[in-house]
Amino acid sequence: MAETQDALLIAGGDHVHRDDVGIKLGMWLFLFTELILFGGLFLVYAVYRYLHPQEFHLAAQELDALVGTINTILLLTSSLTVAMSITAIREGRKWLSIALVLVTIILALAFLGNKYFEWAHKFEHGIYPRSPLLLEMPPGEILYFGLYFVMTGIHALHVIIGMVVLGFSVRFLWTGVITEHSYVRLEAGALYWHLVDIIWIFLFPLFYLLH
């Protein structure tokens, strides 16, 4: 009894208090901030598309819709597998859950690989910020490619952050921090992954399909 009393009095000790709803609420609030971060970018896109509709239209034809479609399929599938991993851990199937999160990470890697080749392809064609070819284009096309690099770049950064988050989920599943009775951390990680997915769902048509 005296020991628990002491434990309670230690400043800086973890307060033993479990609130799954609270954790998810906090996660949702954080996702709002991420959405608004991209909201600023969508706003910039909307303004410049409104000012240069014709040039955006032409520039968009330079992008390969097939590459974008493959990446969309990859990300959507990865959202499915991460959702399945939650169902798996709920049923107590730890190894299946780990495998599903790992598949999610592999799909994310495939997405990034695809993105890498896409960017490299653009660079080879002389399209990159301040490239001589780009500077000869009309302003709307310069802005289109500028926004393409900025927005898909920041999105790719979020894919990487999401992979780190999922990596921790694997570790927590492995070490038994996430169990069938306490899987809110996995849910929070999956929520973040869905955010990465949904932002792509908006980027994809804005850059690849509107032409």
Q: Of 45-74, which residues contact other proteins (CB under 8 A)?
A: 47-48, 51-52
Rounded to whole angstroms, the Cα distance separating 99 from 97 reads 5
Amino acid at 25: L
Give me the least distance between CB of 50 and other proteins, in Å please: 11
Give me the least distance between CB of 101 and other proteins, in Å please: 23
Please tell me whether residue 130 binds other proteins under the rule CB under 8 A. yes
Please tell me whether residue 38 binds other proteins under the rule CB under 8 A. yes
Q: Which is nearer to other proteins, 33 or 61 (CB)?
A: 33
Rounded to whole angstroms, the Cα distance separating 120 from 49 reads 25
Please tell me whether residue 13 binds other proteins under the rule CB under 8 A. yes
Please tell me whether residue 1 binds other proteins under the rule CB under 8 A. no
Please tell me whether residue 146 binds other proteins under the rule CB under 8 A. yes
Instruction: Specify whether the CB–CB gap between 146 and 55 falls below 8 A.
Output: no
Q: Which of 120, 129, 160, 209 binds other proteins (CB under 8 A)?
A: 129
Please tell me whether residue 43 binds other proteins under the rule CB under 8 A. yes
CB atoms within 10 A of CB 189: 26
Written as one string, the DSSP assignment of 131-200 is -HHHHHS-HHHHHHHHHHHHHHHHHHHHHHHHHHHHHHHHHHHHHTSS-SS--HHHHHHHHHHHHHHHHH
| Contacts of residue 180, Cβ cutoff 8 Å, sequence gap at least 6 | 89, 90, 91, 92, 94
Give me the least distance between CB of 53 and other proteins, in Å please: 13
CA distances (Å), origin 72, targets 17, 31, 75: 40, 20, 5
Site stretch for other proteins (CB under 8 A), options 81-89, 115-123, 128-136, 167-175: 128-136
Q: Please give the residue ranges that form the binding site for other proteins (CB under 8 A).
A: 6, 8-15, 17, 19, 21-23, 25-26, 29-30, 32-34, 36-41, 43-44, 47-48, 51-52, 129-130, 135, 138-140, 142-143, 146-147, 149-150, 154
